[in-house]
Structure 1
Amino acid sequence: MRKTEWRHGSASEPALFFIHGDFGDGFDTWGPVSTTIGRRYRTVTVDRPGFGGWLNHHDRFTIAGEAVSLMVVADEMGLETFHLVGHSYGALIALEMAVTHPGRVRTLHLIEPPLLDLLPADTGVQHMRETVRTIQAQHADVGADATTEAFFTMIGAAHVPERLRGTQEWDRLCIFAERFARGESVGDYPSQVLNRIPSELPIGIYSGGRSHPVFRAIAMALLRRLEGARFTDVAMAGHAVQLSGDPFVGPLLALVTDADALWEQRNSPLDTDNARE
Structure 2
Amino acid sequence: MNCLRVGTGPTLVLVHGFLSGLAYWEKQISLFSSRFDVVAFDLPGYGGKADVIGLDSVDGFADYVLERLDEMGIDQFHLMGHSMGGMIAQEVALKAPERVIGLVLYATGPMGSLPGRFESIEESIVRAETQGTEQVAHDTVKTWFSDGEGDPDFAGGMALAERVQTQTYINGLRAMAGWRSLERLNEIEAKTLVLWPDSDRSYMWQQTESLWRGITGANLAVVPQAAHNIHLEKTQIFNLLVLDFLQSDKVKQRRLALNECI
TM-score for both structures, normalised by structure 1: 0.79
Residues paired across the two proteins, number: 255
Check if 1:39 corresponds to 2:34.
yes
Select 1:215's aligned residue among 204, 222, 227.
204
Name the structure 1 match of 2:12: 16
Name the structure 1 match of 2:226: 237
Deviations 1:117-171 (A, max 9, x none): 58xxxxxx53539711221233132012222134246x4759645889xx78645
Residues 209 and 74 of structure 1: CA distance in aligned 2, closer, same or farther (over 3 Å): same
Deviations 1:17-74 (A, max 9, x none): 00111122111x2111111110121101110111234388246521111111111111
Residues 60 and 215 of structure 1: CA distance in aligned 2, closer, same or farther (over 3 Å): same
Deviation at 1:182, TM superposition (A): 2.2
1:148 maps to amino acid: A
How far apart, CA to CA, are the structure 1 residues paired with 2:146 and 2:50? 33
Deviations 1:173-217 (A, max 9, x none): 32236332222342321234534623x420110111332284333
How far apart, CA to CA, are the structure 2 residues paired with 1:59 and 1:142? 19
Which segment is superposed worse, 71-80 or 256-265?
256-265
1:182 is paired with a residue whose SS is helix
2:115 is paired with a residue whose SS is helix
Unaligned runs of 5+ in 2: none
Please list, as runs of the form range in 1=range in 2, the aligned pairs for 1:169-184 lying within 5 A after superposition. Answer: 170=158, 172-176=160-164, 178=166, 179-183=168-172, 184=174
TM-score for both structures, normalised by structure 2: 0.83
Which segment is superposed worse, 256-265 or 133-142?
256-265
Residues 104 and 160 of structure 1: CA distance in aligned 2, closer, same or farther (over 3 Å): same
2:45 is paired with a residue whose SS is coil
2:171 is paired with a residue whose SS is coil
Determine which structure has greater relative contact order: mean sequence separation of CA pairs < 8 Å that are 6+ residues apart, divided by chain length: 2
1:51 maps to amino acid: Y
How far apart, CA to CA, are the structure 1 residues paired with 2:17 and 2:179? 15
Name the structure 1 match of 2:77: 82
Name the structure 2 match of 1:92: 87
Moved over 6 A (4+): none
How far apart, CA to CA, are the structure 1 residues paired with 2:203 and 2:160? 26
How far apart, CA to CA, are the structure 2 residues paired with 1:69 and 1:248? 27
How far apart, CA to CA, are the structure 1 residues paired with 2:77 and 2:26? 19
Name the structure 1 match of 2:253: 262
1:255 is paired with a residue whose SS is helix
Residues 144 and 195 of structure 1: CA distance in aligned 2, closer, same or farther (over 3 Å): closer
Residues 70 and 135 of structure 1: CA distance in aligned 2, closer, same or farther (over 3 Å): same
How far apart, CA to CA, are the structure 2 residues paired with 1:72 and 1:47? 14
How far apart, CA to CA, are the structure 2 residues paired with 1:171 and 1:18? 20
